[in-house]
Amino acid sequence: MPTKTLQIPTADGQADAFAAFPVHGEQHPGVLMYADGFGIRPVLRDMARELAGDGYYVLVPNLFYRHGPAPVIELPEHIGEEARPALFAQLMPLIEAHTADRVLRDADAYLGFLTAQPEVSAGPVAVTGYCIGGLLATRTAAARPGQIAALAAFHGPVGVDGPDTFSKFSAEVHFGHAESDLSPEDLGELNKALDAAGVGYTSEICPGTIHGFTMSDTDAFDAAALQRHWDRLLPLLGRTLTRG
């Protein structure tokens, strides 16, 4: 599986990024993948490669490039519960500094870069995200509806910007929530807002999961829920993205 380490010019500097794409020479639909707060690391590279193996050019930018190249903070091979408090003490200032204005400036740069790659076919792209990346994916889809055909977010705080965000979507949407993040009542309210916005969507709680369930290098990992994530994501991309 071909991969590249790239530098994306942005309004505020250069964002390092990882890309994976099929070995075949033809063009493929583009997917912008936003990492969780721990950023680009082996598990994200593996997920990008797996998605690329299904026929997509996958771009994973370093969200916190303003603070240095990935990994911005030193990470253990396995992110256990005992390590999380110290890691989040370092990460939270970076997350708090990553304002909505920054998110959208960066999204313009990422989307422009992705669609200009010679391996990427013409037409709309998809955006996916995990944890805080799910929120960034949601903001990107709302701000750039003409460019985004599909939005998928997993264990992310997708509703924090309020229901008006959903009315801006033109993408088909899948939200996969952790059971620890969202009650059935909260899910009902979120889905009512999606209904009111006229969005084509699926939105569900993955049973028995906790926040971060897709990430195999954390204690939250749930192999069955990760497979469910692929079972939702791949058909969504297949329905919405045009093959070259």
Tell me what the mean pLDDT of segment 158-175 comes to: 96
Query: Is 80 exceeded by the pLDDT of residue 215?
Result: yes
Give 11-65 pLDDT, tens digit per residue.
999 999 999 999 877 899 999 999 999 999 999 999 999 999 999 999 999 999 9
Query: Is 80 exceeded by the pLDDT of residue 244?
Result: no
| Counts of helices then strands in the chain (DSSP H, E) | 6, 8
DSSP 98-153: S-HHHHHHHHHHHHHHHHHSTTBPSS-EEEEEETHHHHHHHHHHHH-TTTEEEEEE
243 in Cβ contact with 121 (< 8 Å): yes
Q: Per the confidence metrics, is the pTM higher than 0.85?
A: yes
Which of 59, 58, 136, 124 lies closest to 99 in space, CA to CA?
136
Domain edges within the chain: 3-240
190 in Cβ contact with 203 (< 8 Å): yes
- Residue 221 pLDDT grade (very low, low, confident, very high; cuts 50, 70, 90): very high
Which of 127, 119, 136 lies closest to 233 in space, CA to CA?
127
Gyration radius from the chain CA atoms: 17
User: What was the pLDDT predicted at 18?
Assistant: 98
Of the options 1.10.10.60, 3.40.50.1820, 3.20.20.410, 3.40.140.10, the CATH number for the domain spanning 3-240: 3.40.50.1820
